[in-house]
């Protein structure tokens, strides 16, 4: 993994990205820390052309986005148009909003719609991924929902954006999952998993948790992963301090 492959997921900084002025200030801080790329998510109602100009103005690349779940499935062209305006080719379905995994019909409909949307993205020269949480490890048809999604849909129409924290939280083996997604995972969320003395689980900066990122990154690289995206859903203090701590740890310990 090279340092220019390390990105920050802007959902981590969402409270500082709600206006164009705030986004510009945030991008300057992100670039000063050392990140060279961002994933667009959690921003306020800023026009995509303006977002692109702000990001590029700080010498940053938009490696990917998260688009609204319903928009991806039910208004796919709108999501495609936004990616084209932002100047990136990679996005992910962020969360199965409104999907009840206890209801087989919901699962089957989700698979059908993801497959159809992924085909439309592919026809436009773009790529649709799936971003997992823990609930996709719910058992379905003798496997997990996440397994079922990936085995039911061609890699041409749906790639993986594994989230390391949520794989662990769902009971999966992170290295095993990354290995299994070889050739199908152009991006990954690096998110550490912390357990305290009271057995309480929390998000934390990379290197402060339990996940074996040296092995995770090695497996992801072997499988052709292009983007290693730092994300921390919640931070104990200033999120800029947290993303700097993660970046510094990665640069010191995980860069080849």
pLDDT at 119: 98
DSSP 201-254: EEEE-TTSSS--HHHHHHHHHHTT--EEEE--SS-SS-HHHHHHHHHHHHHHHT
pLDDT tens-digit series, residues 182-241: 999 999 999 999 999 999 999 999 999 999 999 999 999 999 999 999 999 999 999 999
pLDDT tens-digit series, residues 72-93: 999 999 999 999 999 999 999 9
Query: What pTM value is reported for the model?
Result: 0.97
pLDDT tens-digit series, residues 27-86: 999 999 999 999 999 999 999 999 999 999 999 999 999 999 999 999 999 999 999 999
What letters, b where the CB count within 10 A reaches 16 and e where it falls short, cover 97-123?
Answer: eebebeeeeebeebbebbbebbbbbee
pLDDT at 239: 98
- The secondary structure element, H or E, covering residue 6 is strand 6-9
Answer yes or no: is pLDDT of 106 > 90: yes
Evaluate the CA torsion angle 106, 81, 129, 161 in order and state its sign.
Answer: negative
pLDDT tens-digit series, residues 240-253: 999 999 999 999 99
Answer yes or no: is pLDDT of 256 > 90: no
Q: Residues for the chain: how many in total?
A: 256
């Amino acid at each position: 993994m090279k340092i220019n492959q390390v990105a920050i997921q802007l959902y981590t900084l969402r409270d500082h990205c709600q206006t164009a002025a705030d986004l510009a200030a945030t991008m300057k801080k992100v670039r000063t820390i050392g990140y060279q790329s961002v994933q667009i998510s959690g921003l306020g109602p800023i026009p995509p052309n303006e977002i692109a100009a702000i990001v590029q103005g700080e010498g940053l690349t938009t490696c990917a986005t998260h688009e609204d779940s319903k928009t991806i499935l039910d208004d796919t062209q709108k999501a495609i148009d936004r990616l084209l305006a932002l100047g990136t080719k990679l996005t992910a379905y962020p969360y199965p909003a409104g999907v009840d995994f206890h209801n087989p019909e919901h699962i089957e409909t989700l698979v059908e719609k993801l497959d159809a949307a992924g085909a439309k993205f592919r026809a436009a020269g773009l790529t649709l991924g799936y971003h997992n949480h823990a609930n996709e490890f719910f058992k379905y048809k003798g496997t997990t929902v996440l397994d079922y999604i990936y085995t039911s849909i061609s890699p041409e129409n749906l790639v993986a954006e594994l989230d390391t924290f949520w794989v662990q939280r769902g009971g999966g083996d992170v290295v095993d999952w990354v290995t299994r997604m070889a050739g199908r995972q152009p991006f990954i969320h690096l998110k550490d998993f912390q357990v305290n003395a009271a057995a309480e689980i929390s998000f934390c900066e990379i290197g402060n948790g339990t996940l074996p990122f040296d092995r995770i990154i090695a497996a992801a690289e072997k499988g052709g992963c292009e983007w290693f995206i730092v994300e921390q859903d919640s931070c104990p203090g200033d999120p800029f301090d947290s993303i700097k701590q993660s970046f510094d740890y990665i640069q010191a310990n995980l860069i080849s």
